[in-house]
Structure 1
Amino acid sequence: MSHNTLLLLYAFIAVLALIVLIARFKLHPFVVLIAVSLGLGAAAGMPLGSVVKAFQDGVGGVLGFVAIVVGLGTMLGKMMAESGGATRVATTLIGLFGERRVHWAIMVVGFIVGIPVFFQVGFMLLIPLVFTIARRSGLSLVKIGIPLVAGLSVVHGMVPPHPAAMLAVGAYHADIGRTIVYAILVGLPTAALAGPIFGSWIAPRIQLPAENPIAAQFTGGIGGIGDIAREMPGFGITLFTVLLPVILMLCASAADVALDTASTVRATLDFIGSPIVALLLALLFSFWSLGYRQHFTRDQILKFAGDSLGPTATILLVIGAGGGFNRVLLESGVGKAIADVALGSHASPLLLAWTVAALIRVATGSATVAMTTSAGIVAPIAAATSGTSAELLVLATGAGSLVLSHVNDAGFWLIKEFFNMTVPQTLKTWTVAETIIGVAGLGFVLLLSLVVGCAPREHGADLTAAGWVDVTATLDPARTPIYAGDAPMKFDFLKDMRKGDKLTLSVYSLGAHSGTHIDAPMHFITNGASIDQVALEPLIGAARVIDIPDSVQAIDAQELSRHDWLGVKRVLFRTRSTLRGWMDSAFHRDFAYIAPDAAQLLADAGVVLVGVDYISAEQFGATAPRTHQILLGHGIPIVEGLDLRPVQAGDYDLIVLPLKVRGHEGAPARAIVRQRHQRL
C-alpha cells in the first residue's frame, strides 16, 4: 500500500470516528476534534511534539481572526436586538411585501440580519418575530420559519463579512468585494428556492402540535407590532448600520481596481475596508445609532456588549478545533494526498471544493469547520489550475458546507426544539432545505462561472521578452556567497573545446540553497511539500518590490507597517544586501532578515510568496527558524538570493521557476520581473 493511500485511509478513519463519536456517542465536537486530530497526526507518522504544535498553530491561526470577527459581529447583533432594529427591519419589509408574501419578507430579513452574525445568533434574534407573525397570521410556523433559516444559512455559508465565508476568502486569496457581489447573485435565488418556495410546498405536509411551549414564552408578552414600532429605530438608519461593514469592504475593493497602489486614498480605504476595522466601525456607529440615539445609557450599552459574548464561547472553541484539525490534515500530508488524487482525476476545482466541503459537513456537522478544512485542502489544487475564479471557489465551498445537516449538527437540534418537530419532521424540513441550498447554490455557481469563471485571476499583457529584467544572481564559485555551513560550490569542465576537445561538457556541484533559490515547505515543515510539488500560482504573477533602508537589519512588524504592502500577493524585499552588492561577494552575517512577527503578518494577510535579496530570510544565528516555520507552514514559498540591483521599488510582473527536483526541500531558480503599467 502506497504512502498516499495509507494517509487517505487514516483520513477516512478519522472522519468516520468524528461521525461515530459525535452522532452515536454524543461527545462534544470540541473534544472529539482534539482527540481525532491528535490521533490522526500520530497515525500518519508525525512526531508527537509536532502533532500538538500543528494543532495549536491551527487553532491560533483560525481564532486569531475569527474570534475578533465573531465578537464584533455578535455585539452588533445584540445592539440590533435590544434596540428593536432587527424587528424594525422585519416589520418594514413585511409591510412592503404584504401578509400573503410575508414568508418572502422573512427570507430577506434573514439574509440581511444574518450578515454580521452567526446562524445561531441570527436565529435567536429573529425567532420571536417568526412566532408572532405565525400566531397572528394563522400561517404555518414551517411556512414562516423555513424561509428565515434559509436566508440565515445562505449568508452563513456564502456572504462575507460573515466569519465562515471570510475564512474561505482568505484561503483562496479571493477579492472580498467581488465575492460579496457574486454571493448576492447566487445567494438570493438559492435562498428563494430553499426558503419560500420549498417552505410553501412542505408546510401543508407537516402537522405540528397545537401547543409550542417555547413559542408561548416568546409571544406571551408581546404587544401589537404597531406598539413596538413606535419605540424602534428607523428602518434607514438600522439598515445602514448593519450594511456598513459591507459598504466599507466594497469601497476597498473598488479602490483596489481604480486607484494606483501608491495612492493614499487607496491605502486608507484598504485599511477601513479590512474586515476587522469595518466591523469595528459599524459596531461603534451602532452604539450611537442603535444605542444613545434610542436613549440607552452607557451602562446599558456596556451590558449589552458584555452579555452577547458569553454564548460565543462554544462556537469559537469548535471553530478553533476545526482549524487545528485542518492544520493536522495538512502537515500530516493528508491534504497533499487528497490533492494528488484530485489532480490526477482532473476534476473541476469548483466541483471538488463543493464535494470536499459536503463530505466534511456530513462528517462534522459544522458548516464553518467544513469551509475551513475544505478550503485548506482545495486551495493548493485551485492555485495550480488556471482559469478558476477564487471568488466562485468561496461560494462553491460555502454551498457544499451547507448540505445534509443531520443529527451531528447543532442547528438541526435548534430547529427541532424551537419548531417543536419530531426528528423525522426535522429531516423532512430543515435537512432538505439545507440540501436544496447546497445543490442549488452549486448550480448557480456553475452558471455564473460561464460568465466570470473562465478568465484568469490576474491579467497582464501578452508575454514577450520586452521589458523583462533578470533578477537572478549569477552563480560563480569565486563570487557567490555561501551560507555558513552550506555545501561549497564547484564547477568543472569534463571536456573543453578551448583545450582541443570536440565538445564542451561541464559538471556542477552546489547546495540546493545556492544563489537565487526557492525554499519549499519541506525545508522546515514535517511532511511539507517538496520543491517539485510547489504550485505555479505563487511563482507567477503580480509582485511588489519594497525598499528597506540600509540602516534596517530586522524587518519586523513595526518596519513592515511603514510600507504599503497590504493586498499584495507577492512581496520582494530590497534591502542593504542590494545596496551593498552582497549577492556578488563573500558571505556577510549582518544581512537584513524578516523577523517572525513580520512573517506572521505577511502570512495572515494572504501573501502567497515572499522574496529577499540575500541567501536567507532568517536572522543569522537565530535560536529557532521561526520565520521559515511561519511562512512555509502557511504554504508560502520563500525566494532567497534575488539580485534586485537592476530594479527599484514598485509593482512588477514576476516569474520565478525552480529546478524541478523530486523530493527535495529547495532548488536554484531563475527569476525575472517586468514593470507593471501604472493604473489611473
Structure 2
Amino acid sequence: MTAHAWFLLLTLMVGFSVLIYLINSRLRVHPFVALIVVAVGTGLAAGEPVAKLTESIEEGAGSTLGDVGLTLALGAMLGRLLSDSGATDAIAHAIVDRSSTRRLPWLVVAAAFVIGIPMFFEIGLIVLLPLIFSVARRLEDRGGTNGSPYVLLGVPAIAALCTLHGMLPPHPGPLTAMTGLHADLGLTLAVGIVCAIPTVIVAGPVYARWIAPRLADVRPDATLVAQFTGTGRPAGSEAAPTVPPAGPGAQLRDDIRPRAGIPTGLAVASVLVPVALMLLRALAETVLDESSPLRSALTFAGEPLVAMLGGFLFALGVTLFHQDRPGDETRTSLNDSLKSVASILLIIGGGGAFNQVLQDAGIGDAIASAAKGAHVNVIVLGWLIALLLSLTTGSATVGIVSATGIVAPLIGTGGGLEASLLVVAIGAGSLGLNYVNHAGFWLVKESFGMNLTQAAKTQTAVQTLVSVLGLGMALLLSVLA
C-alpha cells in the first residue's frame, strides 16, 4: 500500500461520509443527486481529469441503466398488470383457500414467495394486505389464536418479499450486482433459491410463531381493515357466524374473494414466465453444445430483458383475453407503474456513475489492494459494505450498487460460483437493520398499526434475520463447494 493508495481510500471514506450526510441531513437530498455530487467530488479529489470525469459519469450511468433499467421498467409494468387483473389475488387465494390455522403462515409465505418474484417489496406487500387482513380478521373473530393474527400472517409475507427483493434476480438490486460482478444468471438464480428457502422459513413462519404472542395487541386501524376486506365492520366488533359455511376452509373464505376471473393456472404462468425462460437459458448453457441453434435461441430468450418482456407480453395477452378492459385504462395503469420506479432508476444510474468514477480514478484498485492485505473474506466484505451503506443512507439500492463497485475488482471478470454467492451476500447485506430511514419500515408500521418498538420487532428484526441468514447460507455454500 503506497501513500497514494491510502489517500485514495481516505478520499473514498470522505465521499461516503458526505453521501450519508447529504441523504440524512435536514436538506434530505435525493439519493440520485447525492450520488452524482459525491461522484464529481470524489473524482476531482482523486485527481481524475475533468474531461475524463464527465465521461466516467455518463458511461457508468448509461451502462448500468442499459443493463438494468429496461428490465426494471418491464418488471414494474408486469407487476401492475398482475395486480390490476386480479392474477395475484387468484394465486394468493388458491394457496390459502383450504387450510387450517396452523398452516396459514406457511401458505401465506408460499403466496408471498410466488407473488414477490416480479414485484418490489412495497408493491407486493400492498397486494397481499387485503388477503392478510381478511384472513387475520376471521381468525380474530373466531378466537383461539395465540397472539396477534395480523403479526402471525404478516411476518411470513414480509420475510418472503424482502428475501426475493434483495437476493434474487430479476429484482433490480440483485440484477445490478449480477451485472457488475459478471455473475452467471442461471447459477445466481440457483444459488439464490438455495439460500432463500431456509432463510424465508426461519425468518418467516418460525419467527412469526415466536413473536406473535409477544405482540398480541397489534391490530391495524379498523377503517383500514374494512377498506382492505371490503366490509364496513371493524375487526373484532362481532363474533364469527355461529353456523359457518360448509367445507374444510370455508369459514375463512367469505371475506377473501378474488377481485377478477383470471384462471389460477394462467395467473401462476404469468408470474413464472420470466423465471422459466431464465432457467431454460441456464439449462441450455449447461447441457447443449455451443453450436446448437436451440442453445442460441434459449440463451437469447433467457436474457433478463427478453425474459421480462416475454412475461409482460404473456400477462398482457392474458389480461386482454380474459377481461373486457379499455386500452386507455390499461395504458394509464402501466404509466402509473413506471412513476413508482422512476426514483429507483435514477438512483441506480447515479450509483453506476459513482462506481465508474471509483474505477477510473483508481480507487477500486486501492480498495482491492487494501482488502487483500487485510485478508477479509470477500463475501463478508461485500455483505458488510452493503449493510452499512443501506443502514446509513436508507436505500438498499445505494448499498448494493456501491458495494458491487467496491468489491468487483477483488474477483476479476471470471464470474463463477464466488461471483454468484457474492451477489446473494450483497443483496442480503442491503436488507439488514431496516429502520426509520427506510420506506418499507414505515409502510409496515402504519399498515399494521404498530408503534416504533413493535415495528422494530417485526420489520427490522425480520429483515435483519434475513440478512444474517442469507450471509450464513452464502458462506456455507462457499465452504461446501
Residue number in structure 2 paired with 1:262: 291
Do 1:183 and 1:395's aligned partners in 2 also have CA atoms closer than 8 Å?
Answer: yes
Inter-partner Cα distance in structure 1 for 2:84 and 2:293: 39
Change (3 A) 1:337 1:314: same
SS of 1:310's equivalent in the other structure is: helix
Equivalent position to 1:245, from 274, 277, 280: 274
Q: Per chain length, whose mean CA-contact separation is higher, i.e. which structure has more relative contact order (CA < 8 Å, sep 6+)?
A: 2
For the residue of structure 1 that corresponds to 2:473, the secondary structure is helix
Q: CA separation in 2, counterparts of 1:312 and 1:387?
A: 31
**Separation in 2 of the partners of 1:47 and 1:12?**
21
2:10 aligned with 1:9:
yes
TM-aligned CA distance change 1:29 to 1:413, over 3 Å: farther
Aligned residue in 2 for 1:446: 475
Provide the aligned length of Structure 1 versus Structure 2: 452
Cα distance in 2 for partners of 1:249, 1:274 equals 7
2:176 alignment partner, one of 156, 167, 171: 167
2:420 match:
391
Q: Which amino acid aligns with 1:416?
A: K
In the alignment, which residue of structure 2 is the partner of 1:19?
20
1:41 matched to which residue of 2? Answer: 43
Equivalent position amino acid for 1:11 in 2: L
Q: 2:80 aligns with which of 68, 78, 81?
A: 78
Note the C-alpha offset of 1:152: 0.9
2:376 paired residue number: 347
**Which residue in 2 is equivalent to 1:234?**
263
CA-CA distance at 1:221 after TM superposition: 4.9
CA contact (8 A) 1:134 1:141 kept: yes
Whether 1:400 aligns to 2:429 is yes
Q: Tell me how large the CA RMSD over aligned residues is.
A: 2.5
Distance 1:111 1:170, change over 3 A: same
Q: Which residue of 2 aligns with 1:478?
A: none
Percent identity, aligned pairs only? 41
> After alignment, is 183-192 or 388-397 more displaced?
388-397
Q: Which residue identity lines up with residue 194 of structure 2 in the other structure?
A: L
Distance 2:444 2:197 in 1: 22
Deviation string 1:231-285 (CA, Å, 9 cap, x unpaired) is 4322221111101111111111111111221211111111111111111111111
Q: Partners in 1 of 2:14 and 2:49 — Cα distance? A: 20
CA distance in 2, matches of 1:390, 1:396: 10
Shift of 1:294: 3.2
Q: Does 1:358 align with 2:387?
A: yes
Q: 1:331: how far off?
A: 2.3
The separation in 2 between residues aligned to 1:46 and 1:222, in whole angstroms, is: 63
CA distance in 2, matches of 1:167, 1:129: 32
Which amino acid in the other structure matches residue 18 of structure 1?
A: L
String of CA shifts for 1:586-625, please: whole Å, max 9, x gaps. xxxxxxxxxxxxxxxxxxxxxxxxxxxxxxxxxxxxxxxx
Is the 8 Å Cα contact of residues 18 and 363 (structure 1) preserved in structure 2?
no
Matched, 1:374 2:376: no
1:89 Cα shift?
Answer: 1.0
Q: 2:104 aligns with which of 96, 102, 105?
A: 102
Partner of 2:229: 219
Give the CA deviation at 1:41: 2.0
- Aligned amino acid, residue 59 of structure 1: A
Residues 327/97 of structure 1: CA separation in 2 closer, same or farther (3 Å cut): farther
Q: Note closer, same or farther for the CA distance 1:58–1:234 as it changes in structure 2 (3 Å cut).
A: same
Given that residues 177 and 253 in structure 1 are in contact (C-alpha distance below 8 angstroms), is that contact kept between their aligned partners in structure 2? yes
1:599-678 matches, within 5 Å, as none
Give the conservation status (yes or no) of the 8 Å contact 2:87–2:260. Answer: no
Q: Is the 8 A contact 1:323 1:372 kept in 2?
A: yes
Match status 1:316 vs 2:339: no
SS at match of 2:325: coil
Larger radius of gyration: 1
SS in 1 for 2:183: coil
Output the amino acid matched with 1:183: G
Q: In 2, Cα distance between the equivalents of 1:128 and 1:103?
A: 15
Conservation of the 8 A alpha-carbon contact between 1:416 and 1:422: yes
Give the structure 2 partner of residue 623 of structure 1: none
CA distance in 2, matches of 1:430, 1:290: 34
The structure carrying a bigger helix percent of its residues is: 2
CA contact (8 A) 1:401 1:438 kept: yes
- Quick one: distance in 2 between partners of 1:417 and 1:54? 41
Cα distance change on mapping 1:215 and 1:324 into 2, 3 Å: farther
Q: Indicate conservation of the 8 Å contact 2:220/2:448, yes or no.
A: no
1: distance between equivalents of 2:350 and 2:124?
23
> Aligned residue for 2:139?
137
Q: Summarize the Cα distance change of 1:29–1:215 in structure 2 as closer, same or farther, 3 Å threshold.
A: farther
2:118 is paired with a residue whose SS is: coil
* TM-score calculated relative to the size of structure 1: 0.62
Q: Which runs of 5+ in 1 are unaligned?
A: 453-680
In 2: Cα distance, 1:211 partner to 1:288 partner: 38
| Residue among 157, 179, 183 paired with 2:192 | 183
Cα distance in 2 between the residues matched to 1:265 and 1:427: 50
* Mapping 1:498-537, distance limit 5 Å: none
Q: Cα gap change, 1:346/1:388 in structure 2, threshold over 3 Å: closer, same or farther?
A: farther
Q: Partners in 2 of 1:60 and 1:300 — Cα distance?
A: 32
Say if 2:53 is the partner of 1:51.
yes
Match of 2:143 in 1: none
CA displacement at 1:228 relative to structure 2: 2.7
**Partners of 2:448 and 2:345 in 1: CA distance:** 26
- For 1:352-394, what per-residue CA distance to the aligned partner results, in whole angstroms no more than 9, with x for missing partners? 2222222222232222222222122212212389985322222
In the superposition, the TM-score normalised over structure 2's length comes to 0.87
Task: Return the offset for 1:4.
Answer: 1.9
Contact map agreement 1:131 1:141 (CA 8 A) in 2: yes
